[in-house]
Structure formats: C-alpha cells, structure tokens
Structure 1
Amino acid sequence: MAEKQIIATDKAPAAIGTYSQAVKVDNTVYLSGQIPLVPSTMEMISDDFAEQVVQVFENMTAVCEASGGSLADIVKLNIFLTDLSHFATVNEIMSRYFSQPYPARAAIGVKELPKASLVEMDGIMVL
C-alpha cells in the first residue's frame, strides 16, 4: 500500500475544516482548494478580484513548496470562479506564475465559494 503523507505549512491558510492542505501519495500531491485568505490573519486579502487571484497563487505556492515542489510541478489545475467574465484576468495573472508547458486546466463557474471568495483553486502535483 502507498504511504500517505499529510502536508501542512503556516505559510498558507490553515485548514478550516475536515481536510488537509495537501496529501502526498508516492510522488503525487493532491492540493486542497485555496481561497484568497492571508495566512497570518485568516482574513480575505480584499474584495478586488485580481488581488484575490494573486493571493490564491501565493497560497498554492506555499503548499507546493511545503510538499517539496513548486507550481511548475502542477499537472492539473482546477479554477472555480463565481463570475466567468473574470477569466481573462485569471489568464493574465496565471502567466506570471506558470510558463510552458502549462498544466492541464479546468475553469468552472460556480454560484458561490467559501467566505464569499470570488476564486478558488485546487490541483494535482507530480514530483
């Protein structure tokens, strides 16, 4: 049976429910959803969509690094948006954090997200 390792870092928001920030199984890391909470305060960064996207990528970066990898190791990224008209902004900000080859990705419009967040992301990383 594969060994399971729970990933936790104080450089990303603490888990606020019955989940872990990430779970590593062999060389695969399953990243839980990140919303734009500032780790030190556990409060939303702001109501500004672009600032929320940046904070989510910063949170994901911290969890990837705590797992022994980086955003470049993400092979599948899921993006949840409460307003799909913001997708161009997501692409522009994502281009600051990722370079080719890009991960596989889904962008999903949802009615609402925790703490009235405008964006949430999760992913799968292979080390």
Structure 2
Amino acid sequence: MKYSVNAKSCPDALGAASKGTTAGRLVFVSAQLPVDENGALVAGGICEQAALVLDHVEAILSEVGLDLSDVAKTTVYLADLNDLEAFDDVYGGRIELPRPARTVVGDRDLPLGALVQMDAVACR
C-alpha cells in the first residue's frame, strides 16, 4: 500500500509532489530544500542550509515513526561541489553509523538558489 507522508513542520514540496511517500517497508522523502515555514531560503551558508535540510528529512521520517538512523540511501545535490567537506561536517554529525549509501551530484541550478538539496530513502 502506498500513501503520502506529510509533516506539518516542513514547508510544502515544490510542484506536484508530496513531502514523502511509503511503499511497503520503504519511505521515500522528496528532495528537501533549506527553506523556512514560509518557503523562504534560510539565511547563512552551506552549514546552516545542510542542517535545515536534515531537520526537514528527520521531521518527515518522524511522521512514520522513523529517524535518520533508518535512512538507507540519500542523494545530495550541491550547487558547488567545493562545499562537500563543509556539508559532510554537518551530515556526519547527524547521520549515525552505519551510514547510508549516498550519491552526491553537482547542480548549479538548484531551486530558489539553494546551496543544497537532499532526498532520502528509509526502511522500516
């Protein structure tokens, strides 16, 4: 059975998407942007944006009783791949061992001029 996951503390997904969905034991979190409850890009650099993206992913997962330790796969989009080390400092502090598989993609055209965007797949 598939259904949407909606965390009220996170901004709505852009376009025709849900914040997340489930399919069997898997939970898919749509790519999260570092935006506040009004949809505005958070002030600060890559560290502040990374922290907020992780907060959003965590909030969505909590709606189905999961947390960041349940994440099996992430895809991270960085506007500047030179920010990977700083991103990893934040990510590594929040994602426990064993860490999920991860793909990192450079994308200079992230929505709203964001420095980072991340999606996730978790398993119950």
* Letter of the 2:95 counterpart: F
What secondary structure, in the 3-state scheme, does the structure 2 residue paired with 1:86 have? helix
The secondary structure found in structure 1 opposite 2:8 is: coil
Residues 49-101 of structure 1: CA deviation (Å, up to 9, x unaligned): 21111110111110111122011111001000010000001111012211110
- Listed as ranges, the gaps of 5+ residues in structure 2 are none
Structure-2-length-normalised TM-score:
0.95
- Is the 2:18–2:30 contact (alpha carbons within 8 Å) kept by the matching residues of 1? yes
One-letter amino acid matched to 1:36: P
Q: How far off its partner does 1:47 sit? A: 4.1
| Alignment match, 2:115 | 118
Normalised by the length of structure 1, the TM-score is 0.93
Q: Which residue of 2 aligns with 1:94?
A: 91
> For residue 104 of structure 1, what is the aligned residue in structure 2?
101
Alignment match, 2:59: 62
Name the residue aligned to 1:24. Answer: 22
Residue 75 in structure 1 maps to residue 99 in structure 2: no
Check whether the contact 2:74–2:103 (CA below 8 A) recurs between aligned residues.
yes
Query: For 2:45 and 2:97, how far apart are their aligned partners in 1?
Result: 27
- Residue range with higher mean Cα deviation, 99-108 or 9-18: 9-18
Q: Aligned residues: percent identity?
A: 25
Shift of 1:16: 2.8
Stretches (4+) displaced over 3 A: none
What are the ranges of 5 or more consecutive residues in structure 1 without an aligned counterpart? Answer: none
